[in-house]
Structure 1
Amino acid sequence: MMHRLLRTSIAALSTTFIASSAAIAADLEEIRARGRLIVAINDDARPLAFRDEGGELRGLEIDVARHLAETLIGDRQAVEFLNVSNRERLGAVLEGDADVAIARLSATPPRSRLVAFSNYYYLDGTDFVTRNTEIAAVSDLRRARIAVLENSDTIAIVRYRFPNADLVGVSSYQAAFDLLESEAADAFAGDRSILTGWVQEHPEYRRLDAQLSVAALCVAMPKGLQHARLHQSVNQAIARWQSSEWLRDTTRRWGLL
């Protein structure tokens, strides 16, 4: 009984939060009248979104944001980027600080209760990175020491595939890097997109394409009927990019294929 009441209270609270947030968020007409698209990003996620040596924003998600601004407003430069942390990504959309979030967000059932998700623009997943010369393929990880982020879904994924591996918990990607550098771990399991950037920055490492899981990265948008035209326009744009192969070519250019 107590659990049922708790679930009901959470559902009611979420509904109230969504309703109040949807009233704040700009609809497509307001975005066009403003003349710019406000996009929440995470600029520390190479090669999805990062700053180059000159401080310019680059990456797949930056290209997607600019292409979306061109579709919605007619100007690929009409984008205002709002840098947020991982914890702030959904809040930026819910509170109306950003029109959309393009920030390595995968569509999950809990998140879909709060925001609307577009069609996917990239399929992420769990892979491994290593510089150990004795590890040539994923099969070599069966009894390896594998670093994993603490409290992450990756732990269950890796444990299921490699029940005899020695999993070592780390608090961050930097902690994982330090562990591999000291040879206290043989490999690190993480998101394919981030590990691609890892190898780009540190070419002495290799990414092992394990394809243990799939996570669809999507554009997050405010929920509500008043945003139906925005949802439709974004989905139609992504469908065109996929059929024209612009999305595939851009993804390949950033090393993500």
Structure 2
Amino acid sequence: MNITGIVSDRWGNFPFAIAPSAAPQAIAAHAADLPEIKQRGYLLVAVKDNLRPLGYRDAQGNLQGLEIELARRLAQDLLGSDNAIRFQAVANRDRLAVVLDNQVDFTIANVTVTESRARLISFSLPYYFNGTAIITKDSSAQNLSDFATRRIAVLKGSSTIPTVRYLIPSAQLIGVNSYTQAYSLLEANATDAFAADASVLSGWVQEYPQYQLLPTLLSAEPLAVVMPKGLQYNALRQQVNAAIARYLSEGWLQQRARYWGLPVNQTRSEN
């Protein structure tokens, strides 16, 4: 599935953007409209700093990942410097709250677009389509059909469960409470595979090279930049969306996603 095609065909002018990772630091500032941001001279961005390969810290403590690169390129386009950013690391539960409370200009932190969230905040156009993927130690497994009657671990209560049940109805699902528990089961050969978010499992493969990520995604879920609602932010939203649209049309976002080991352009429809 072509990401650019999804944006133009499925989302039309739906706003989209980028997500970086961050260094925790106290920021005594507030969200601003575009003229104020330019006067201030930097963006305030809430990010994840522990989610490889979207946003994480390397061995030297430097921020790395697809979302970090995207955030810095936005800063370059909006303010003329890829260093014109101050990052604030946030927990998942606070990703929208820091925007609603006007603590940051954006949140770019692995946030999936949903209708309920869109009632509270504004989304940019999607910059990447995350989804459910399968990881396994079995190098011979390449297709979903290879797991038709095998054991697949899934996080209890996750949206992954109905997706896997629908696409692989005869598989035996094993509920786990955490990624750590799934890893323990896989290492003990108590399950054959683990189904979860592709972005997280891509990082897993990089950390544990004995595993492989199946090239086919089971679903496609748009990730977007979170921005505040309000007419005063229109110019900012328009510039962010125009920049992301250009990154997609040029192929830059797709190329960087591949660089970071994220699945691109492949969905279950290709099998």
TM-score interval, smaller chain: 0.7 to 0.9
Answer yes or no: is the 8 Å Cα contact 1:101–1:221 preserved in 2.
Answer: yes
Structure 2 partner of 1:228: 234
**RMSD (Å) for aligned C-alpha atoms:** 1.4
The Cα of 1:211 is off from its aligned counterpart by 2.0
Q: Gaps (5+ residues) in structure 2? A: 1-29, 265-271
C-alpha distance in structure 1 between counterparts of 2:206 and 2:135, whole Å = 12
Structure 2 partner of 1:194: 200
Answer yes or no: is the 8 Å Cα contact 1:25–1:94 preserved in 2.
Answer: no
Structure 2 partner of 1:60: 66
Q: Which piece of structure 1 moves more, 112-121 or 133-142? A: 133-142
Larger radius of gyration: 1
C-alpha distance in structure 2 between counterparts of 1:134 and 1:34, whole Å = 54
C-alpha distance in structure 2 between counterparts of 1:64 and 1:155, whole Å = 31
The Cα of 1:134 is off from its aligned counterpart by 6.0
Structure 2 partner of 1:122: 128
Structure 2 partner of 1:249: 255
Q: Gaps (5+ residues) in structure 1? A: 1-23
The Cα of 1:133 is off from its aligned counterpart by 4.9
**Partner secondary structure for residue 120 of structure 1:** coil
Question: Which residue type is aligned with residue 152 of structure 2?
Answer: I
Q: What's the TM-score, normalizing by structure 2?
A: 0.82
After superposition, residues 1-257 of structure 1 pair within 5 angstroms as 25-133=31-139, 135-256=141-262, 257=264
C-alpha distance in structure 1 between counterparts of 2:194 and 2:168, whole Å = 13
Q: What's the TM-score, normalizing by structure 1?
A: 0.87
The Cα of 1:104 is off from its aligned counterpart by 0.7
User: How many pairs does the alignment contain?
Assistant: 234
Percent identity of the aligned residues? Answer: 50
C-alpha distance in structure 2 between counterparts of 1:123 and 1:144, whole Å = 27
Answer yes or no: is the 8 Å Cα contact 2:31–2:99 preserved in 1.
Answer: yes
C-alpha distance in structure 1 between counterparts of 2:181 and 2:100, whole Å = 32
C-alpha distance in structure 2 between counterparts of 1:152 and 1:31, whole Å = 38
Distance 1:58 1:133, change over 3 A: closer
1:212-240 superposed Cα distances (whole Å, 9 cap, x missing partner): 11011111101111111111010000011
Give the structure with the larger helix fraction: 1
Q: Which piece of structure 1 moves more, 160-169 or 130-139? A: 130-139
